[in-house]
Structures are given as C-alpha cells and as structure tokens.
Amino acid sequence: MSRVVRGIVASLLLFGAACSHPSSSAYPNSNVVQPAAVRVLALACGFVSEGVGVFVAPDLVVTNAHVVAGGEQIQVRAIRNTVDAVLVGFDPNLDLALLRTRGQPPDIFVPLIALEDPVQGDIGLVAVFSDEGSFVTIPYEVTRAIVASGTDIYGNGKHLRRALDLDTTIRPGDSGAALFDETAAVVGIAFASSRNGDGVTYAIAASELRSFLDTTDAGSPVDSGACY
C-alpha cells in the first residue's frame, strides 16, 4: 500500500501454483541489500504518495504503479541523497512502474533479478523503511506461488499475473518493496496486504518483473495516468 489514499483490494482468484526448485532456507545479509532500497515520493493531485523502490540499474528504480499514479513530480530518496526521477514505464495491470533517476545516487547496490520464481516455503527479507525513515528489513515466507486474476490499480478489468502469498505484513508506505532471497536477488515486489489483518501480503513474482522490464522502453518518459 502507498501511504496515501487507499490500499489495493487484495482479492485474488487462484488458478494454479508452481513448484520446481528446492526451497530457500536462509536469509540474505541485511547490510548487503540495504543500498538497493529507496524511498519513492510522488506529488499527485495535491497529495504526496510514499512507497518503496529497488534499483534494477544504476539509474533505474522499480516501484508499484499505484505509488506514482498521477504523479506530477517524483523523487527517489536513497541512503546518501535524494534525486529527482522521471517515469519511463507504467503498467497499471501488473502494478509496476519504472523510474529513471536524474543522476546516480552514490553507494547503491543493484541486485540481480531471480531467474526462477520462489515457491512455497521459501524465505527471505523484504526491504522497507521505518516511520523515522531509516532502512529496515522484515522476514517473509512464501505460503503460495499462484497465478492470480485481479483488476488493475483502478479496479477495472480482469488481468492474470504470477503472484506470491507471503507470511509477512507490509504497512502503508511499503508498497513497491523488494523481496530478496538468500543470494540477495530480487524474487518479487510487494504490492498489497490483506484487509483482514491476518499477516498476509501479496507480491508480484520475479517472472512478471522481468517481463515488464524486457518490454519497457526506458529511454522515453511516459504518462503517469490518473491519480490512484
């Protein structure tokens, strides 16, 4: 969920699950993944929407589309400094967005994106930020790897996506947080928590992230759509 407006309605229709590799059984080093995470701030319709992002290149950051929807000005706050960013990719169906930073923040870490999606039982860390703005990590465990049917970020249509059910809880302002496996590779992007308060979080799987990046022309600015 982004910190302002509202959270995504996390109602998913299960179509299947995947299980093809041994479960990860260790956590990555928190200090290693820390420089990969950034705070994303978007001025949209008179409000500041806050989320989390992750570097996928020295000057490219992935976050959720609903964090930057309708954004007129976007900033990325890394460990050392804050830089302006421009939106170069926006997919409201997958709830993914790609930002190009104006200048490269120092001392960052660009993680790999996992070649395989995680499976039930895999564990790792989610990179988020505390209320004071400092970097923190929280553990997750994959409870299901699914193909889910849901609406876009505006509640329209039906769209399939490879997603993950996680035993962890993200808070408002944590949308777009990356899931890291034991090798510090990104295996998913968190986008919503259950409204029931039962400690369930939903994430977009790494295969969807790779597809989004492969089909996005990061060289040109794109429209940020309507406010979320």
Report the amino acid identity of residue 33: V
Nearest Cα to Cα of residue 100 among 34, 147, 56: 56
Residue 91 above 90 pLDDT? Answer: yes
Asked if residue 57 has pLDDT above 60, the reply is yes
| pLDDT reported for residue 143 | 96
Could you give the count of Cα atoms lying within 13 Å of 157 in the half-sphere of its Cβ? 9
Mean pLDDT of the chain: 88
Q: Which domains does the chain have, with CATH numbers?
A: 13-30+111-212 (2.40.10.10), 35-109 (2.40.10.10)
Q: Which two tokens stand for residue 196?
A: 């029931």
CA distance 91 to 56: 16
Compute CA distances 1 → 5, 44, 91, 110, 214, whole Å: 9, 15, 16, 24, 25
CA dihedral 61, 220, 159, 175 (to 10 degrees): 20
What is the distance between the alpha carbons of residues 217 and 75, in angstroms, rounded to a whole number? 20
Helix (H) or strand (E) holding 67: helix 65-68
pLDDT tens for each residue of 184-219: 999 999 999 876 666 789 999 999 999 999 999 999
The per-residue pLDDT for 194 is 75
pLDDT attached to residue 20: 47
* DSSP state letters, 184-227: S-EEEEEEEE-TT-SSEEEEEEHHHHHHHHHT--TTS-----S-
What are 6's two structure tokens?
């509202």
In this structure, of 23-27, 82-86, 221-225, the range with the lowest mean pLDDT score is 23-27
Give the per-residue pLDDT at 186: 98
Question: Which pLDDT value is given to residue 21?
Answer: 52
SS3 30: helix
CB atoms within 10 A of CB 68: 28
Mean pLDDT of 151-177: 93
Q: Which residues contact 24 (CB under 8 A, 6 or more apart)?
A: 118, 122, 123, 124, 181, 182
Per cent of the chain over pLDDT 90 is: 73
Residue 61 clears pLDDT 70, i.e. is over it: yes
Q: Report whether pLDDT(9) > 90.
A: no
All residues at 6 or more sequence positions from 154 whose CB lies less than 8 Å from its CB, including other chains:
92, 226, 228
Tokens, residue 138: 């929280």
Q: The whole model's pTM is what?
A: 0.89
Q: How far is CA 17 from the centre of its chain?
A: 21
Q: What is the dihedral of CA 219, 179, 69, 156, to 10 degrees?
A: 110
Taking alpha carbons only, the member of 224, 203, 129, 192 closest to residue 2 is 192
